[in-house]
Amino acid sequence: MVDRDLIVAKADVVKKHVDRALLKSQVSISSFLEDRDLQDIVLFNLQMAVQNCIDIAAHIISAEGYGVPGSNNEMFYLLEENGFLETFMVEKMIKAVGFRNLVVHEYGKLDMKEAYEISRNDIRDLLAYLKEIFKKAGIH
């Protein structure tokens, strides 16, 4: 059975990191590209927000006995197959996981212009993910 308190706690962490990344990305693109510390703050918060979304997916899959995913991406497909996520949200989460993987594993290959855009726009997809999860889990 899904632990709603755990999901709410993880969601609060996601929201904290999303808010921090949004706050720190409210600068011009040129300011962002010139400020390595600002980039680090934004990237760390993006990474942590996505990681906590992954943790929520892992908990649901484990608690509901949906199988053993072979990758982070597969977790979102399992949630889709079991009615927790819509296809468009799965695609957004897979994109988010891909970006998180770049941050974690291949920092030198990051396009900071893309990171800036993600931190100002696409990051809101994580909040939409939480809304879908809350709806399916009956959390208000």
13 has a pLDDT exceeding 90: yes
pLDDT value at position 109? Answer: 81
Domain total of the chain: 1
pLDDT value at position 68? Answer: 92
Average pLDDT over residues 4-30: 97
Average pLDDT over residues 68-93: 96
Average pLDDT over residues 15-41: 97
Average pLDDT over residues 41-56: 97
Q: What is the CATH number of the domain that holds 34?
A: 1.20.120.580
pLDDT value at position 107? Answer: 67
Domain containing 84: what range? 4-137
Angle, CA of 25, 76 and 18, to the nearest 5°? 20
Mean pLDDT of the chain: 95
pLDDT value at position 121? Answer: 93
Q: How far apart are CA 90 and CA 113, in angstroms?
A: 24
Q: How far apart are CA 77 and CA 75, in angstroms?
A: 5
